[in-house]
């Protein structure tokens, strides 16, 4: 009986809004007090009837759950939350990512329908009721909703789940396929550049995303690259409609990044600089975060409270630049290495420790940039082993270590070889640190 009551209450709140829950439950208790023979379910039926809920339900058009959509449907009605939204594109089109309790789909609004979305003030987080739409099946088997000139649009009720529930933590989507909807901190960005794609010059920018100490690169293309604002660095963002490509996350015309209003921002309350690696780079850590910090700003052996920061891309390296910071005191410890078993393709700037199990002689290979040194070795910790490739300067550093040595590898990238196996790639900006004397 209680389950029936909760189900009916959910249906009522979907129509009248969650904000009226307390009012409805108070009225239910009042009806029961007036007539003790009433059950809670019966009292709720009376309250809902007095509010005209059942009249509204009879007038509402039947909606199809997103998870039940198939290609080739016409005159479809859906009610869903907007979890991703593009700006108005050429051809008067707006791309949407929509979700309800049964699934998520891409949608495209054309012409007058796109204009209606703007007129209604639809934004990420809005719930919309779409009438008279149609569906198409894409080559990959997924279904897309098309909101054409004949479709009707209105702001929907409170039925679909909350916005954040549609987004996984970034660490949960690493290595997964398909469409990615996830949340991550916006850590930094590269300069805007152009790349030639399909005989056209396209704007592109790399951004660095982070979550729970893990860093991943994402390529932003075209409008998303051009409209990126440095002001969102440090904020928690909701990324909708992205995909993996060559060990990076990449955007398309249907990808959006939404920064929730009043959302939390990332800071490093006690960043400890444990070691200077070069005149430019130092090794710094804060909890699960292990970062490349500028030696000129942050001194080895000291701790800092970093309130504002941004990451800059220097070659293949990402360096954390403190914008608002000061020295701090507190219990500190050195960097925490990531377990080899937890490494996944796409992770960048990783820090690991382990034993060099075996290594090959250093050699040279011809690349597009000329002849480059290469040395391969296996690294093992207590959880697993991984094949490592050291390039350029890192190859010369690797040549100095011996089999059986314990080493730390700072700021490497986890990649996938042609057979789908993960590897650790050490570039010119990576470091190999001997731990032979470390107890």
Domains of the chain, start order: 2-59 (no CATH), 66-163 (2.40.50.140), 167-258 (2.40.50.140), 268-327 (2.40.50), 340-434 (2.40.50.140)
Percentage of the chain with pLDDT > 90?
71
* pLDDT, tens only, 207-220: 999 999 999 999 99
Q: Are strands 200-211 and 193-197 parallel, antiparallel or unpaired?
A: antiparallel
Instruction: Identify whether the C-beta of residue 339 lies closer than 8 Å to the C-beta of residue 381.
Output: yes
**Alpha-carbon radius of gyration of the chain:** 27
Tell me the whole-structure pTM to 2 decimals: 0.84
pLDDT at 439 (0 to 100): 45
Q: Give SS3 for 2.
A: helix
pLDDT for the residue 1: 54
For the chain of 439 residues, list the mean pLDDT of each consecutive stretch of 10.
74 77 90 85 85 63 88 92 90 92 95 92 94 92 93 86 95 91 96 86 95 97 92 94 93 94 86 95 95 94 95 94 92 90 96 96 83 94 97 94 96 94 96 78
**Which pLDDT value is given to residue 405?**
96
Q: b or e along 389-411 (b: 16 or more beta carbons within 10 Å of the residue's beta carbon)?
A: bbbbbbbebbeebeeeebbbbbb
Q: What is the pLDDT of residues 312-328, one digit of tens each?
A: 999 989 999 999 999 99
Half-sphere exposure (Cβ direction) of 46: Cα atoms closer than 13 Å: 15
Instruction: Tell me the per-residue pLDDT of 107-153, one tens digit each, with 9 for 90 and over.
Output: 999 999 999 999 999 999 999 999 999 999 999 889 999 999 899 99
Report in angstroms the alpha-carbon separations of 348 from 38, 122, 421, 429.
62, 36, 16, 12
- Which pLDDT does position 175 carry in this prediction? 81
Distance CA 48, CA 11 (A): 10
CA angle 243, 161, 15 (to 5 degrees): 140
Give the model's pLDDT for residue 177: 84
Measured distance CA(431)–CA(143) in Å, rounded: 46
With beta carbons less than 8 A apart as the criterion, state whether 410 and 351 touch.
Answer: yes
3-state SS assignment for residue 21: helix
């Amino acid at each position: 009986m209680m389950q029936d009551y909760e189900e009916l209450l959910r249906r009522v709140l979907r129509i009248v809004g969650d904000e009226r829950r307390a009012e409805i439950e108070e009225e239910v208790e009042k009806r029961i007090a007036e007539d003790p023979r009433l059950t809670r379910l019966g009292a709720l039926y009376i309250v809902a009837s007095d509010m005209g809920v059942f009249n509204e339900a009879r007038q509402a058009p039947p909606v199809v759950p997103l998870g039940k959509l198939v290609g080739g449907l016409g005159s479809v009605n859906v009610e869903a939350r907007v979890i991703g939204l593009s700006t108005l594109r050429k051809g008067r089109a707006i791309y949407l990512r929509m979700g309800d309790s049964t699934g998520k789909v891409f949608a495209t609004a054309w012409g007058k329908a796109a204009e209606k979305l703007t007129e209604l003030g639809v934004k990420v987080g809005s719930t919309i009721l779409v009438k008279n739409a149609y569906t198409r099946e894409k080559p990959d088997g997924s279904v897309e909703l098309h909101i054409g000139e004949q479709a009707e649009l209105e702001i929907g009720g409170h039925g679909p789940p909350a916005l954040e529930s549609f987004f996984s933590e970034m660490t949960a989507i690493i290595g997964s396929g398909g469409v990615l909807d996830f949340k991550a901190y916006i850590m930094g960005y590269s300069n805007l550049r152009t790349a030639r794609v399909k005989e056209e010059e396209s704007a592109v920018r790399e951004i660095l995303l982070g979550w729970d100490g893990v860093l991943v690169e994402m390529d932003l293309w075209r409008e998303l690259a051009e409209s990126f604002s440095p002001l969102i660095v440090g904020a928690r963002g909701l990324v909708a409609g992205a995909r993996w490509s060559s060990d990076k996350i990449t955007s398309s015309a249907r990808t959006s990044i939404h920064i929730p209003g009043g959302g939390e921002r990332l800071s490093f309350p006690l960043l400890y600089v444990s070691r200077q690696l070069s005149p430019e780079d130092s090794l710094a850590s804060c909890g699960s975060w292990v970062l490349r910090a500028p030696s000129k700003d942050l001194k080895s052996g000291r701790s800092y409270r970093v309130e504002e920061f941004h990451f800059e891309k220097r070659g293949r390296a990402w360096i954390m630049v403190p914008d608002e910071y000061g020295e701090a005191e507190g219990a500190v410890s050195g960097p925490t290495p990531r377990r080899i078993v937890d490494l996944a393709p796409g992770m960048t700037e990783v820090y690991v420790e382990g034993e060099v199990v075996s290594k090959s002689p250093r050699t040279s290979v011809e690349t597009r940039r000329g002849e480059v040194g290469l040395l391969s070795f296996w690294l093992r910790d207590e959880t697993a082993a991984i094949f490592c490739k050291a390039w350029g300067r890192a190859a010369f550093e690797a040549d100095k270590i011996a089999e059986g040595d314990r080493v730390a590898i700072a700021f490497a990238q986890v990649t996938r070889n042609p057979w789908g196996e993960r590897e650790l790639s050490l570039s010119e900006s990576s470091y190999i640190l001997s731990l032979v004397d470390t107890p």
